[in-house]
Amino acid sequence: MNRKILYWGGIFAFFCLGLVLTLSGIFFFLGITAAGSRASAAPPVLLSQGGPVPVPAQTLGTSPVQKGPDQPPGQYVRILTIDEKTNTPLPAVLLFINGLYAGMTAENGSFDLLITGPGPNSSTIRAVKDGYQDITIRSDLIRPGEVLLNLTPGDIIPVEINGPRESEINIVFVPSHTSFNATDNTKTELDGYPGGETQFASDVRTFINQTFLAYPAITSPSYPLPRDYRQRFDFYYFWDGTTYADAFDSCAGTIPQDYWDNVTFSDLTIILYPSYQGVYSGPPGQPVGCTNPNGLGRVYLKISADMPSLAMHEIGHGLYGLMDTYCGDTYYAQNDPDPNLWSSKDGCREYAGGNGWDPDACRQVSSGVPGGCTKEFWRWDPDPDIMYYGYAGTFGNASTKRIVSTLMRVSP
């Protein structure tokens, strides 16, 4: 069963938090059997016991569909996927019937569904292919015939793909046309993203290598990462040459609505801007990084392309639901399960002892300055804790335990 990470943002606007849930979808799929090729990363359901049946190439437009000589007896619905601009068949399109993965199209752009008995009068068919906009239609799949799906080329460019979107954590990068000068607290308008798509794509790849692929070096060895953790991510970037995010329109920036209309699968969107000028010292300046939990499927953050350590801090919020452990103007809560922040000293000590950690390492969230900031919350991870320092540090036992727990809920 494929599993998917979803994100609940709650009511705390522009707060560095992304609560992570795992959703195992259960769908009912009656009366239709897939009879085409399949993706190795996500086996289709309700195939015949002998596995998928090869689909012979046939002339497009033939209706009703006739079974090939190597196919089992029965009647078929043929799904045809076409590039809308070139009117050519599209192979390797992932198909989902009534929300459940069925398989992918053959080289001639076709996929056959064997009708095995009565089914729903109306079914949904969703087609997914990198480089194209997702499309979902309703169709009658209870009698032989053809269903034509015209896919429109999209603006989502794959960077590293390790499996179907439904079984991966999907990270999408969006370019910003703004930066910030902290010396005079002014937003800098840029002519698009400096260096264009070539530079943006290069910055994205460097960013991935310095953050998502760097976990082994900055996580606690007490909680080993899954050996294949890198294969649990798919990375994309958005580029159409005209649409940009504004990283400094608010704390976490803003993303054009058109982006959300086209990108329905993102688990975390990262607004990337080239660089931050000067040093952030608080309002009225704009922070270097910020995370906005904007509800289901719309969690996003902003970060400078050249600050990977702070990026790890913000990704800790947006992807894993880690809490800030510094003392300041932020939001605090005990983020069960697998917290890295506790609402009482006793709770911290009990959790630490139950996991074989030193309970005496629990300490109150504070600035460390006599008479300075204190909060009625407790942390355990030793310094330099990246959720405390932001610009440097590592993930301790508590943070790493939560990261690993999240990754283990994702089927590679």
Establish how many alpha carbons lie within 13 A of residue 352's alpha carbon, considering only the half-sphere containing its beta carbon: 22
Q: 0.75 cut: is pTM over it?
A: no
Q: Angle at CA 399, nearest 5°, toward 396 and 403?
A: 125
Provide the H-helix boundaries in 236-373: 257-262, 308-320, 345-354
Give the Cα separation of 82 and 152 in Å (integer): 9
pLDDT > 90? residue 215: yes
Fold classification of 32-151 is Immunoglobulin-like (2.60.40)
Encode pLDDT of 311-338 as tens digits: 999 999 999 999 999 999 999 999 999 9
In sequence order, which residues have a C-beta less than 8 Å from that of residue 39 and are 6 or more positions away? Answer: 94, 101, 103, 104, 163, 164
Percent of the chain residues topping a pLDDT of 70:
79
Q: Cβ distance 219 to 225 under 8 Å?
A: yes
Which range, of 55-59, 109-113, 299-303, 355-359, averages the lowest pLDDT?
55-59
pLDDT > 70? residue 144: yes
- The reported pLDDT for the residue numbered 131 is 82
Q: Which two tokens stand for residue 395?
A: 């993930």
Give the Cα separation of 380 and 384 in Å (integer): 12
Task: Round the average pLDDT of the chain to a whole number and report it.
Answer: 81
Q: How many CB atoms lie within 10 A of CB 375?
A: 19
pLDDT > 80? residue 11: no
In the chain, what are the domain boundaries? 4-23+156-331+391-408, 32-151
Encode pLDDT of 18-68 as tens digits: 323 222 222 222 233 444 332 322 222 222 222 233 333 322 233 333 344
Report the CATH architecture of 4-23+156-331+391-408.
3-Layer(aba) Sandwich (3.40)
pLDDT band (50, 70, 90) for residue 243: very high
pLDDT band (50, 70, 90) for residue 120: low
